[in-house]
Structure 1
């Protein structure tokens, strides 16, 4: 059953773009003769809900049906549909309309980023063109900018507690821990290890930081298998350290690493790439 929501199409479009949900923007681009609506009329369509209207009747139902077929088939991009109001649509207006359907597939990968410092900001910028939904957390209430909250496929959250933040993450989410506080980092790592359905856990920092964290995890009874789920330092390629330690350079290696990790279907048995596997993949790309 289709639900016609009271939310306007532009409000729904903004929300769906930011949430990374699949949807279609339908725009009446031309008309001739008698038609229910004028060129420029728009509606937004998801698999369950319709926002706004192109005039109702059989013509609108056919538009909704076509949009949902494109979503189901994964046929993203632009599609131009033509309707003769009296022919294909069975309506009595006698006019003719063209409707442009813009199909947005939605985000297929979820990334949870804990920390809105310099490196975190560069990761968000570099990830913007990618089809990822970014869940961005920081315990500092004033760290996010107004423009951050308006970016598509990016949701900003003030982290009130590590347990609350990690419990709300979607399954098979890839996580990055890079807050401004080592104690907060450690609390997040232990909370994420409780989630067996997390795709990967990455921790920023030096080798000595990870050695300290690993020792604490061992003393608190975490098994070797559990500890190996944590990838640290993130963005380490060829087991070497970058001489360029600018936030942009670090973020570039982290996003590259995430591209490899997210290239494979998520499963409970696959929680990321081992360092040796990552180095092998990158070596292969250099020789081809």
Structure 2
């Protein structure tokens, strides 16, 4: 394993940058030591799939920490992991001390939202979603549609696209998106909306698909999409109108709040985490930090 230049960014600078970008990463912290060790408790290192920032002291021990963190990142095994490293045994280092390392894995974003359209509702929705741990891809065919302040929002990427009424363009745009996205279609043009819904359905790899509009708009779209070869089962995947049931407001901010609330219900269903999972198991902590285990070290 080639170790990248650890001087490029300190661990706290890297942690802030990765959190803002919504990129998966891990924070490894030395939380306890015994005997001779390369670094002291409190030393930290940030690890991504292809980079590291700062150091826990180098050597085989550090490579083992990096490998374990990357394995957890790759398997999306988020949360804290407490690992014990006897440097003379597990790590084969001559200093022979003992190190406990807390590895905290962050998925970067709990969900990815693809928002097509930077009109009034889209611009009201973006700040409503900003505090949530989601990555947002904001797409529009109008190069001047995005507000200047959007460039400074964490986990938000603005993408200019060609006119998606061309089916090949819509297919290419949708094909470039990550798998498992929650797609929201609310462009300024019904033709673009219909082409994007068609491409999203054909792509078949979305966690959810929402279309802004009325029942009559969706009835018209359904006829065209059905004639284009989409099954009733596929069409049932599209939510239109969007927003939680009972929210009838027509103002952009009212619609945005209703859509944000609906997305919360959809993303919470997909987390897959047991409701009683709260980090490291108490038995593990008790075994590691009990006086008897300390005496045996």
TM over 0.5: yes
Matched, 1:255 2:263: no
Structure 1, gaps ≥5 residues long: 267-288
CA distance in 2, matches of 1:68, 1:227: 39
Q: Which of the numbers 206, 209, 225 marks the counterpart of 1:217?
A: 225
User: Aligned with 2:115: secondary structure?
Assistant: strand
CA distance in 2, matches of 1:38, 1:147: 42
CA contact (8 A) 2:163 2:192 kept: no
CA distance in 2, matches of 1:76, 1:104: 7
Alpha-carbon shift at residue 67 of structure 1 (Å): 4.7
The alpha-carbon distance between structure 1 residues 68 and 220, as it changes in their structure 2 partners (threshold 3 A), is closer
Structure 2, gaps ≥5 residues long: 165-169, 272-297
What per-residue deviation string (whole Å, max 9, x for no partner) do you get for residues 242-278 of structure 1? 1x32222111111221222223349xxxxxxxxxxxx
CA contact (8 A) 1:9 1:43 kept: no
What per-residue deviation string (whole Å, max 9, x for no partner) do you get for residues 154-186 of structure 1? 222111253221111222222110011121111
**Over the residues paired in the alignment, what is the CA RMSD in angstroms?**
4.1
The alpha-carbon distance between structure 1 residues 82 and 180, as it changes in their structure 2 partners (threshold 3 A), is same
Alpha-carbon shift at residue 63 of structure 1 (Å): 5.1
CA distance in 2, matches of 1:13, 1:3: 21
CA distance in 2, matches of 1:151, 1:260: 23
Aligned residues: 261
CA contact (8 A) 2:78 2:104 kept: no
CA contact (8 A) 1:109 1:132 kept: yes
Q: How high is the TM-score relative to the length of structure 2?
A: 0.66
The alpha-carbon distance between structure 1 residues 221 and 123, as it changes in their structure 2 partners (threshold 3 A), is same
CA distance in 2, matches of 1:180, 1:216: 19
Matched, 1:186 2:189: no
CA contact (8 A) 2:247 2:258 kept: no
Q: Which residue of 2 aligns with 1:4?
A: 3
Q: Which of the numbers 142, 145, 148 marks the counterpart of 2:144?
A: 142
Q: Which residue of 2 aligns with 1:126?
A: 128
User: Aligned with 1:169: secondary structure?
Assistant: coil
Q: Within 5 A, what are the aligned runs for 1:60-139?
A: 60-61=62-63, 64=66, 67=69, 74=77, 76=79, 103-139=105-141
What per-residue deviation string (whole Å, max 9, x for no partner) do you get for residues 93-146 of structure 1? 9xxx99886642322322211012222133222222333222211111123345
CA contact (8 A) 1:174 1:201 kept: yes
CA distance in 1, matches of 2:16, 2:149: 13
Matched, 1:245 2:250: yes
Matched, 1:177 2:185: yes
CA contact (8 A) 1:59 1:89 kept: yes
The alpha-carbon distance between structure 1 residues 161 and 168, as it changes in their structure 2 partners (threshold 3 A), is farther
The alpha-carbon distance between structure 1 residues 226 and 74, as it changes in their structure 2 partners (threshold 3 A), is closer
Alpha-carbon shift at residue 203 of structure 1 (Å): 0.5
User: Aligned with 2:109: secondary structure?
Assistant: coil
CA distance in 1, matches of 2:155, 2:244: 26
The alpha-carbon distance between structure 1 residues 180 and 134, as it changes in their structure 2 partners (threshold 3 A), is same
